[in-house]
């Protein structure tokens, strides 16, 4: 009775983590959860207030538009111009998303024919691999190796695969490796896409969580909009993971095709949430800077603590994760930590080339990070 496509899918990584953590909690173990990347910092109060006010407006109780309110798209364009120096047409080059995960999944239905290849990073966000399967595509892993700075080596992708490829996924600042990409890399990707007739989907959900580094987007490359779609979200930037709102930006023809899919799949993002998002995008960005400083402090405490335990690790330049190289099986390492109530994500869950690493999400207070390090001293 179950579809063949569904049978091809592995268990969803973060669902499995939740299950394991819950088992330990039932055993009475206090879990310090570094697993899922869900900010523990509340949504800023001015955004919450805007949502409450928007909920009282009767016009917001009806269906939203498929592409998102024009004012929301204008706010996205304004923020994009201010942060990245890139002009975007809010009417033709932006579409709202019910969180970027929805967009990352559904975009494949706009461009894939059965049997087309999708190049995806390994290690990487699991949806890059699973979503093409639903759309009849064939996911093809592109290794992200430490020796290459966790950037894809485009020249090593077999030519016969490139010829069949329709979409290529990139993600910087990178989850899980925390790597930050420079404009030179983006230029290389855009040239590769043009030469081979590939659409680049750039997941930039962590674009604003960088340390001592400028905001970057692939759309800073001249002409990139012709071959690229950027996916971004308010989830990580403004601590709005539960609100489910994001956006995609790309050339007019690409967004037009994507819009056609979404009109047949969903009825758009709640107007109430969009009004709150407009306030988030247009008001002071001090809350974003404060978030980064909180993550910076947590990062520094965790890195120094791990070094004292004998691990070699560098301070991440972006995201709110730490990608730690470990000896042996990442699952066995994670299970050892779970025995003392510390939950991390085994790297193998992000793909074959994630083996030998574990990911910490910096979504615990400094006090809890110190407590986790004390527990780890018991086993290292």
CATH, range 45-282: 3.40.640.10
Q: What is the pLDDT of residue 22?
A: 83
SS3 of residue 4 by DSSP: helix
Q: How would residue 20 be classed by pLDDT, with cut points 50, 70 and 90?
A: confident
Mean pLDDT (whole number) for 268-275: 98
pLDDT tier for residue 11 given thresholds of 50, 70 and 90: low
Please give the full DSSP string across 32-92, using - where no structure is assigned. Answer: EE-SS----SPPPHHHHHHHHHHHT-GGGGSPPPSS--HHHHHHHHHHHHHHH-----TTT
Per-residue confidence (pLDDT) for residue 375, from 0 to 100: 97
d(CA 165, CA 148): 22
Q: Which tokens belong to 11?
A: 């268990």
Report which of residues 280 and 20 the model is more confident about. 280
pLDDT of residue 329: 94
Domain range list for the chain: 4-43+286-377, 45-282
pLDDT the model gives residue 18:
75
d(CA 136, CA 280) in angstroms, rounded, equals 37
CA-based nearest residue to 298, from 221, 362, 359: 362
pLDDT in tens, 125-161: 999 999 999 999 999 999 999 999 999 999 999 999 9
CATH number of 4-43+286-377: 3.90.1150.10
Question: Which tens digits make up the pLDDT trace of 197-254?
Answer: 999 999 999 999 999 999 999 999 999 999 999 999 999 999 999 999 999 999 999 9
């Amino acid at each position: 009775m179950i579809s063949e496509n569904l049978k091809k899918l592995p268990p969803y990584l973060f669902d499995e983590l939740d299950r394991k953590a819950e088992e330990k909690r039932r055993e009475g173990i206090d879990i310090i959860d570094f697993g899922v990347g869900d900010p523990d910092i509340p949504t800023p109060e001015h955004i919450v207030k805007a949502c409450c006010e928007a909920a009282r407006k009767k016009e917001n109780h009806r269906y939203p538009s498929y592409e998102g309110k024009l004012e929301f798209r204008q706010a996205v364009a304004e923020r994009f111009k201010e942060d990245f120096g890139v002009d975007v047409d809010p009417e033709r080059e932006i579409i709202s998303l019910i969180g970027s995960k929805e967009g990352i999944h559904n975009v494949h239905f706009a461009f894939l024919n059965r049997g087309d290849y999708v190049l995806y990073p390994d290690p990487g966000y699991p949806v890059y691999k699973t979503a093409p399967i639903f759309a009849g595509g064939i996911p093809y892993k592109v290794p992200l190796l430490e020796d290459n700075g966790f950037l894809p080596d485009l020249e090593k992708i077999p030519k016969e695969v490139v010829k069949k490829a329709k979409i290529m996924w990139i993600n910087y600042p990178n989850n899980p490796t925390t790597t930050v990409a420079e404009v030179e890399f983006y230029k290389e990707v855009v040239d590769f896409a043009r030469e081979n007739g590939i659409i680049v989907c750039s997941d930039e959900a962590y674009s604003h969580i960088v340390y001592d580094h400028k905001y970057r987007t692939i759309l800073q490359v001249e002409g990139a909009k012709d071959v690229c779609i950027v996916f971004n979200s308010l989830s990580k930037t403004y601590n709005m993971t539960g609100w489910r709102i994001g956006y995609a930006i790309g050339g007019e023809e690409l967004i037009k095709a994507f819009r056609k899919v979404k009109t047949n799949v969903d009825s758009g993002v709640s107007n109430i949430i969009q009004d709150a998002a407009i306030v988030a995008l247009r008001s002071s960005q001090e809350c974003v800077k404060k978030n980064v400083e909180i993550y910076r402090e947590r990062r520094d405490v965790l890195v120094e603590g791990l070094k004292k335990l004998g691990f070699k690790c560098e301070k991440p330049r972006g995201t709110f994760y730490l990608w730690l190289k470990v000896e042996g099986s990442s699952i066995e390492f994670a299970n050892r930590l779970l025995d003392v109530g510390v939950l991390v994500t085994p790297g193998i869950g992000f793909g074959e080339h994630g083996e030998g690493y574990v990911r910490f999400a910096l979504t615990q207070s400094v006090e809890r990070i110190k407590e986790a390090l004390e527990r780890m001293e018991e086993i290292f």
